[in-house]
A and B are shown apart, each in its own frame.
Chain A
Amino acid sequence: MLTPSPSSPIVHAAAVVPAASRRPTFYTLFVMLLLAGLALVPTYAALSGQAFYVTLFARIVVFAIAAVSLDLILGIGGLVSFGHALYLGLGAYAAGVLAQHGIDNGWVHLGVAIVLCGAVGFVTGFVSLRTTGIAFIMITLAFAQMVYFLAVSLKQYGGDDGLPLAASSRFGNMSLGDPATLYYVAFGFLCLLLLSGSRFVKARFGMTLAGIRMNERRMKALGVPTLQYKLGAYVIAAILCGIAGVLYANLTQFVSPSYMSWTTSGELIMMVVIGGIGTFVGPVVGALAMVLVEEGLKSATEHWMFIMGPLIVLIVLLTRRGLMGVVHSADARRAAKIAAKIAARSKRTESLS
Chain B
Amino acid sequence: MNVTLFVMQCLNGMQLGVLLFLMAAGLTLVFGIMNFVNLAHGSLYMMGAFVGALVYNTTSSFILGVLAVIPAMLALAFVLEALVFKRLYQRDHLDQVLATFGLILFFNELIRMIWGPSPYYMEVPPALSGTVNLFGIPYPAYRLLIVASGLAVALGCYLLIHRTRIGMLIRAGATHRAMIGALGINIKLLNSLVFGLGAVLAGLAGMLAGPILSVQPGMGEPVLILTMVVIVIGGIGSIRGAFLGALIVGVIDTVGRTLLPAVLRGLFERGTADTAGPALASMLIYILMAVVLALRPQGLFPVRHG
Contact = CB atoms under 8 A, between A and B. Distances in A.
Asked if chains A and B are in direct contact (CB within 8 A), the reply is yes
Interface string A259-271: 0001000100110
Contact of A305 (B98, B108, B229, B275): B108
Contacts of B297: 130-132, 135
A270 B101 contact: yes
B70 interface: no
Contacts of B109: 303, 305-306, 309
A172 interface: no
Interface residues of B, number: 45
Interface string B263-306: 00000000100011011101100110110011001100000000
B106 interface: yes
A105 to B, nearest CB: 30
A138 B232 contact: yes
Contacts of A155: 271, 275
Contacts of A150: 279, 283
A143 interface: yes
Contact of B97 (A159, A269, A277): A269
A316 B99 CA distance: 6
Interface in B220-265: 225, 228-229, 232, 236
Contacts of B37: 134
A138 B97 contact: no
Contact of B283 (A134, A146, A274, A303): A146
B94 interface: yes
A313 B99 contact: yes
Overall SS of chain B's interface: helix
B120 to A, nearest CB: 18
Interface in A273-317: 273-274, 277, 303, 305-306, 308-313, 316-317
A175 B221 CA distance: 39
A308 B275 contact: no
Nearest to B35: A134
A152 interface: yes
Interface majority SS on A: helix, strand, loop or mixed? helix
Q: How large is the interface on A (under 10, 10 to 19, 20 to 34, 35 or more residues)?
A: 35 or more
Contacts of B94: 74, 80, 269, 273, 277
10 contacts: A131-B294, A138-B228, A139-B290, A139-B293, A149-B280, A303-B112, A312-B99, A312-B102, A316-B102, A317-B88
Interface of B: 31, 37, 84, 87-88, 91, 93-95, 97-99, 101-110, 112-113, 225, 228-229, 232, 236, 271, 275-276, 278-280, 282-283, 286-287, 289-290, 293-294, 297-298
Given A305-B108, A316-B88, 11 more contacts: A131-B297, A134-B31, A134-B37, A149-B279, A153-B280, A273-B95, A277-B94, A306-B105, A309-B109, A312-B98, A317-B87
Nearest 9 CB-CB pairings of A with B:
A153-B279, A309-B106, A312-B102, A309-B105, A306-B109, A305-B109, A135-B297, A142-B286, A313-B102
Interface of A: 74, 80, 127, 130-132, 134-135, 137-139, 141-143, 145-146, 149-150, 152-153, 155, 159, 262, 266, 269-270, 273-274, 277, 303, 305-306, 308-313, 316-317
